[in-house]
Amino acid sequence: MKRFSLGRIVLAVFGTVVLLYLILPVLIIVPMSFSSARFLTFPPPSLSLRWYQEYVGNPAWMQATRVTLTVAGLTVLIATPVGVAAAYAITNSSLRIMRLIHLTLMLPLVVPIIIIAVGVFFVFASVGLTATLSGLVLANVMLGLPYVITSVVAGLQSFDATQEMVARSLGMNRFRSFFIVTLPQIKASVLTGAIFAFISALDETVVGLFISGGQYQPLTKRMFTSLRDEIDPTIAAISTLMTATSFILVLLASTRRKKSA
Amino acid sequence: MLALVSPALLVILALLLLPVGWLMWQSIYHDGFTIENYRRIFSEDIYWRSFLLTFRISLLVTLLALLLGYPLAYAAASVSKGWSILILSLVILPFWTSVLVRSYAWLALLQRTGVVNRMLQYFGLVDEPLALVHNTLGTVIATVHILLPFMVLPLYATMQKIPGELIQAGASLGGSPSYTFWRIFLPLSLPGVLAGATLVFVLCLGFYITPELLGGGRTVLVSQLVSRNVELYDQWGAASAVGVLLLAGVFAIFVVVSRFIPLDRVVGQK
How confident is the model over B157-173, as pLDDT tens digits? 899 888 888 888 888 88
**Distance, CA of A80 to CA of B147 (rounded, Å):** 27
Residue A43: which region, alpha, beta or left (left: phi > 0; alpha: psi -120 to 50)? beta
User: Which of A18, A178, A238 to substitute to test the interface with B, most B CBs within 10 Å?
Assistant: A18
Candidates A26, A111, A121; nearest CB to B247: A111
In chain A, what percentage of residues exceed pLDDT 70? 93
- C-alpha B145/C-alpha B226 separation (Å) is 24
User: In chain A, what residues touch B8 (CB-CB under 8 Å)?
Assistant: 82-83, 85-86, 105, 145, 149
Instruction: Check whether A247 has a pLDDT greater than 70.
Output: yes
Question: Which pLDDT belongs to residue B119?
Answer: 80
Least confident of B29-43, B56-70, B89-103: B29-43
In SS3 terms, chain A reads as CCCCCHHHHHHHHHHHHHHHHHHHHHHHHHHHHCECCCCCCCCCCCECCHHHHHHHHCHHHHHHHHHHHHHHHHHHHHHHHHHHHHHHHHHHCCCCHHHHHHHHHCHHHCCCHHHHHHHHHHHHHHHCCCCCHHHHHHHHHHHHHHHHHHHHHHHHHCCCCHHHHHHHHCCCCHHHHHHHHHHHHHHHHHHHHHHHHHHHHHHCCHHHHHHCCCCCCCHHHHHHHHHHHCCCCHHHHHHHHHHHHHHHHHHHHHHHHHHHC
Residues of A in contact with B145 (CB under 8 A): 21-22, 25
Encode pLDDT of B184-240 as tens digits.
Answer: 888 899 999 999 999 999 999 989 989 988 887 777 888 988 888 888 777 888 889
pLDDT band at A43 (very low <50, low <70, confident <90, very high): low
Asked whether residue A257 carries a pLDDT value surpassing 70, the answer given is no
pLDDT category at B19 given cuts 50, 70, 90 is very high
Which chain B residues contact residue A18 at CB under 8 A?
68-69, 71-72, 148
Name the residue among B19, B107, B209 with its Cβ closest to that of A206.
B209
Identify all chain B residues contacting A21, using CB atoms and an 8 Å cutoff. Answer: 68, 145, 148
Question: Is A258 touching B (CB cutoff 8 A)?
Answer: no
The pLDDT of residue B246 is: 93
The pLDDT-based confidence of B270 (bands split at 50, 70, 90) is very low
> pTM of the full predicted structure?
0.89
- Residue B238 is predicted with a pLDDT of 85
The confidence score (pLDDT) of residue B235 equals: 81
Look at chain A and count its residues: 261
Task: Examine the pLDDT at B265 and tell me if it is beyond 70.
Answer: no
For chain B, give the mean pLDDT: 87
**Can you give the pLDDT at residue A49?**
87
The pLDDT of B3-25, averaged and rounded, is 93
User: Per-residue pLDDT averaged across A241-252, rounded?
Assistant: 88
Cα A12-B133-B219 angle, rounded to 5 deg: 115
Task: Report, as an integer, the average pLDDT of A131-156.
Answer: 94
What does residue A47 show for φ and ψ, rounded to 5 degrees? Answer: -85, 145
Please give the ipTM for the structure prediction. Answer: 0.87
Which of the two residues, A172 and A59, has the higher pLDDT score? A59
Cβ burial A175-204 (10 Å sphere, 16+ → b, else e): eebbeebbeebbebbbbbbbbbbbbbbbbb
Nearest chain B Cα to A115, which residue? B243
Is the CB of A239 less than 8 angstroms away from the CB of B105? yes
Nearest by CB to residue B267, choosing from A88, A109, A138, is A109
For A217-228, the pLDDT digits (tens) are 999 999 998 887
Q: Is the pLDDT of residue A148 over 90?
A: yes
Find the residue in B nearest to A2 (Cα): B79
